[in-house]
Structure 1
């Protein structure tokens, strides 16, 4: 199944991003691109709110198509399917196997601008959209996103639906530069500096 993985990080939820990716226009665009599944790693203490956003007449609860063990979560995933189609949405709070989920299931990744999440996707050669959480202090994520985009490794945007749709459109026709899979202490040092400056 062609799958989009959205990761918000393990600790801080990112409601703006979550609302955008589960919106009807965004899901419609995903479906028109051939996507059949959306996995959202929504972060700590957001499970009830995430499930609540999907508890309406458009979605029905279904058994998750991926096992809890494979998703690397201890909690039962939130799993819904869009009533009018076979489009599945899976929500998890945390994954101890996020690299496995990215490698085995993700055709495209949308990530918050945390360096660990970014590097996970790039090292696995997955096309990546970085979404900046501008609610965080100092807005350091913008600097990180801008740096990765300037190298041609990612597409970067805000969590606004129109910006995400623009990046989704770019992902159809643009090819990103391959990321150097070998570790570079100098490069990672610059990223850490950006993250904490």
Structure 2
């Protein structure tokens, strides 16, 4: 039996991503989320025009808020995270070892976010889509196939510094 994703956390970070907020609340997307076990969505809406509050639609409870000092608690409490493609949100989720679906904001296609999402998907750490393909992606991907994000290795930084100072000493 596939894993159920009862609690879904959706974040747009500090930006305005009205399309993602609105898309999450459409019947087809809510039905796709329900199919994978979703019963509850926490929706961090940032500066989006979406209204803060508690909703229920298609049998899914939704709690929308703008900002908190930290979203770490929301990430840890979620069984699935759906996020904008901001590096901070992606890395925080991956470091918490949570399945991640990144929704790329196509209005920002000239920035680094698409490249980051593409590379992390190629590396097997997340899936990404657009608002247009969100429903289909939720129905087709298997989050259990995602590879855990590697833990940071502080020894690499120390080795890097050692190498730099070793080279500098040989030059002098």
Short-chain TM bin: 0.7 to 0.9
Q: Which residue does the alignment assign to 2:100?
A: 128
The Cα of 1:39 is off from its aligned counterpart by 1.1
Distance between the aligned counterparts of 2:22 and 2:55, measured in 1? 15
Distance between the aligned counterparts of 2:137 and 2:153, measured in 1? 27
Q: Is the 8 A contact 1:108 1:126 kept in 2?
A: yes
SS at match of 2:110: helix
* Higher mean C-alpha deviation, range 93-102 or range 123-132: 93-102
Residue 6 of structure 1 pairs with residue 23 of structure 2? no
SS at match of 2:55: strand
User: Compared with structure 1, are the counterparts of its residues 97 and 139 closer, same or farther at alpha carbon in structure 2 (3 Å cutoff)?
Assistant: closer
Q: Choose the corresponding residue for 1:43, options 43, 46, 52.
A: 46
Q: Is the 8 A contact 1:133 1:139 kept in 2?
A: no
- Normalising to structure 2: TM-score of the pair? 0.79
Distance between the aligned counterparts of 1:37 and 1:170, measured in 2? 20
Kindly report which structure 2 residues correspond to 1:106-125, keeping only aligned pairs within 5 A, or say none: 106-125=78-97
Q: Choose the corresponding residue for 2:56, options 49, 63, 81.
A: 81
Residue 168 of structure 1 pairs with residue 138 of structure 2? yes
CA RMSD of aligned residues (A): 2.1
Q: Choose the corresponding residue for 1:98, options 71, 77, 81.
A: 71
- Normalising to structure 1: TM-score of the pair? 0.70
Distance between the aligned counterparts of 1:21 and 1:119, measured in 2? 22
SS at match of 1:43: coil
Q: Is the 8 A contact 1:80 1:88 kept in 2?
A: yes
* Higher mean C-alpha deviation, range 1-10 or range 89-98: 1-10
Distance between the aligned counterparts of 2:118 and 2:102, measured in 1? 9
Greater Rg, structure 1 or structure 2? Answer: 2
Residues 12-43 of structure 1: CA deviation (Å, up to 9, x unaligned)? 11111111111001111112222111111111
Q: Which residue does the alignment assign to 2:162?
A: none
The Cα of 1:137 is off from its aligned counterpart by 6.2
SS at match of 2:69: coil
Q: Is the 8 A contact 2:99 2:143 kept in 1?
A: no
How many pairs align? 152
